[in-house]
Structure 1
Amino acid sequence: MTDAARLTADLIRCPSVTPTEGGALVLLADLLTEAGFEVHRVDRNDTPNLFARWGARGARSFGFNGHTDVVPPGDPASWSHPPFGGHLHDGLIWGRGATDMKSGVAAFVAAAIDFVTETPPDGAVILTITGDEEGPAGDGTVALLDWMVGQGERMDVCIVGEPSNPDRMGEMIKIGRRGSITFRVAARGVQGHAAYPHLARNPLHALTQFLHDLIATPLDQGSEHFDASGLQITSVDCGNASSNVIPETATAVINIRFNDLHSGDSLIRDLDARAQAISERTGVELTLSASISGESFLTRPGPFVDLVREVVTAETGLQPILSTSGGTSDARFIKDHCPVLEFGLVGHFMHQVDERVPVEQVHQLKAIYQRILERYFA
């Protein structure tokens, strides 16, 4: 039996702060190779990634995806136990990555090894593990998927092992995610004296009109599987240190988390049109630039979702909610490759000082993953 809790602690002891590999993928590569997996390092632009497959290429396959990179721990003195110590105490594993998500990786690696060893399937088990999820993400799972296409490798379905449960194991499966787009708005007017506004064009007035119009009316009321899209103004600035000067320029930053009623391109067209209308009305030039970090997606309920839901219920006694809540994950890349969902631990301590995970939860997650594999290949 492969001990998922011990493997979690071993992975925590690898200081793999993005983009440093820290020994985590080396540890997993050795373990998987010994278990009979074909293993490849798929590094791109110095970003570490790992691909592993048990079984024949092209066979019916089940995939798991996760990451071993972690966010910085901050001041180690603030931690009850060293952040990279992998300390086991009071039934908990302590350290950076304990929740997000070295425990998830350890659980699906341990489940995969024990499954193929005890009941070798008529098919393939594929593991894709990146060291670039907490960072820019352009050379992580994306690079793995690009490499797989070139090699003729394919997952038929995939589970991303990110923490998915708010409070209790088994209460939620993520079957989709909202998209995310960030707009940077630059307003250029004419500088002048605050006492003579007719000789100036105030960029802040035009910019705040634009922002008010955006927040005055909701983007939508939600859809069948998604809540309403959310828009947040995260920054407004003009760099003006003087109270009697109308500034020449001002900027704002807007983040939109959007559902399946929109796309990144449709939101760009919408906001560009609104900005142009205000520019024509005020004489202040509004210029938008946009960065799309992910489109919304949905894995519709069906045989794959039903299988996972039934196993989770059998192992936990709970009927999981099918949710699209939360931020983004690497599932946003995998959804173009195969049906994907997310199921993992309770996410209470992600990115916190004293990040930790109950040992019992790690063992339970491994049991769920192994049972999913057994059911899938039955």
Structure 2
Amino acid sequence: MEIETQPQDEELEEETSIIHDRDDMDDVRESDSDEQEVEKAASIHSPRMWPDVDTERAVKYYQEIEAVKKTFEDEVDFFDTTMVTEYAEDIFKYMSDLEEDVMPNPDYMSGQNEISWSMRQTLVDWLLQVHLRYHMLPETLWIAVNIVDRFLTRRVVSLVKLQLVGVTAMFIAAKYEEILAPSVDEFVFMTENGYSKEEILKGERIVLQTLDFKVSQYCSPYSWMRRISKADDYDIQTRTLGKFLTEVTLLDYRFLRCKPSLIAAVGMYSARKMLGGDWNEAFVYHSGFVEEQLEPGHQWIADKLLEENFHQQYVCQKYGHKKFLKASVFAIEWAKANAASGGSDEQVMLKK
């Protein structure tokens, strides 16, 4: 399946529009009613982490991980400058400390009046299209989706403003990550002039104020995936399939309960399992998770892949290209085969 880098006008019209035939929209505004909406959204119970296990099992997992850390000998590669060996431990510890601070409420949709989880999935799917069309960095996508979820945690948003939240989030994320970020005029074009330049710029101010300007604190799962990949010497098949599976989690609201480090581990574990590999001590050491902790997340991903017409999601089209080893085609076929066979593992190789 080919990925077109230069979409035709009619394709862009179809792909970059979430909301068609909408009424004229009022400007985004800050008012007393906005403050009431914030209070209403904030009244939703606080976030709950997944997996939520009893104390006995939590202690068991901790002891297993610590035992591996004490006995496993990690070979330090001083020539791998991307992992900055001298500071890696301190960096990842700092990133771990920041994770909970930038997580959205996983049940925020109960505080919304007009939107639903399926609408969020449509928005994220559209952001995936825009992200690829403009050749943005992977972290830009993850930051944008995180901004959307955290904003919807604190603000009640109408259906006609949902796409504005999404495009504003991508606009902010691009400023943080891209060397040459798309201009605001390009973001107006992305929405087919559905929103004006002024609306996006005003939306940017409101989003940043709502989030207390906490944007750079978020670290995407890819940061942890790079570390975990060291366990299999950065195997290209596992890494590519793992990237697809982690992007699948963006479409599944259940993963809002998971820290980015856990999402990365689930993606890599699922990739290893699909390719017939095991979750050995090296993976436990570099990920900080044992197999039992990751199995439920793997099942969530498998369930998502088996949803009706899931292959039509843009993430599947993106990873259906030979550039990405047709990872989505392989993963969906694996999920169907294992569902039909009752879950028995089947080792197949991705096509290069």
TM bracket (short chain): under 0.3
Q: Give the structure-1-normalised TM-score.
A: 0.25
Q: Tell which has more relative contact order, 1 or 2 (C-alpha 8 A, sep 6+).
A: 1
Higher helix share: 2
Higher strand share: 1
User: Highest CA radius of gyration, 1 or 2?
Assistant: 1
Q: Give the structure-2-normalised TM-score.
A: 0.26
